[in-house]
Amino acid sequence: MRLLFKQRFFSWLDSYDIYYEDGSVAYTVEGRLAWGHKLVIFDPEGRELGTVREEVLTFLPRFTLYAGDREIGEVRKEFTLFRPSFRMDCMGWQVDGDFFEWDYTIADAQNRLVATISKEHFRLTDTYVLDVADSQDALYVLMVALAIDAAKCSQGN
C-alpha cells in the first residue's frame, strides 16, 4: 500500500493531507496549539483516529501516541552519530534513516520490513511517500512519519 503524505502550504499550524495512490484522501492531520507538536489524525469522514504529541523538555525528541483518548506508546529518537534512528515501543519497531535524513526504513522485531518512508525533493512543502507492507499498519506508519517530520522541524532541519 502506498500513501502520499503532503504538508499543507497555507497553514498556521502543521497540517497534512495523506492520499492513496488513486488520489483519494486516506487521512487528514491537523496541528493543534500545544506546548510542543500536537498532531491529530482524522479519517476522511472527520472521525478522530489518533494523536501524536511531542513531549517537551527531553534530551532527544520523544512523542506519545494515542489511539482515540487511549495512550498506546511512544516514538523516541535514539542517540546515534551519523544516521537517525527511532524506536516505536508499542509495536517493537526500529526506524532507521539515511545520512541525509530523507529516507527511512521501518522493521519489526524479527527484522522484517514494515514500511519505507521517502522524502520527495524539490517540493514547496514537506512531501513523503509511505510504502506500507500491510495496510493494517498504515495508521502506525503515519504516526512514525509525523513524529520524524516533527522531530526534524524541532531541530531546525
Query: Is the residue at 98 inside a domain?
Result: no
Query: Is the residue at 95 inside a domain?
Result: no
Query: Is the residue at 36 inside a domain?
Result: yes
For the chain, how many structural domains are there in total? 1
Q: Can you give the residue range of the structural domain that contains 70?
A: 2-76+119-154
Query: Is the residue at 35 inside a domain?
Result: yes
Query: Is the residue at 49 inside a domain?
Result: yes
Residue 48's CB is within 10 A of a number of other CB atoms, namely: 14
Q: pLDDT for 36-62, tens place per residue? A: 789 999 999 999 999 999 988 778 889
End-to-end CA distance of the chain: 28
- Averaged pLDDT for residues 95-108: 89
Please tell me the predicted confidence (pLDDT) of residue 53: 94
Q: List, in order, residues 6 or more apart from 70 with CB less than 8 Å away.
A: none
Q: What is the mean pLDDT of the chain?
A: 88
Supply the pTM of this predicted model.
Answer: 0.88
Query: Is the residue at 90 inside a domain?
Result: no
Please tell me the predicted confidence (pLDDT) of residue 105: 95
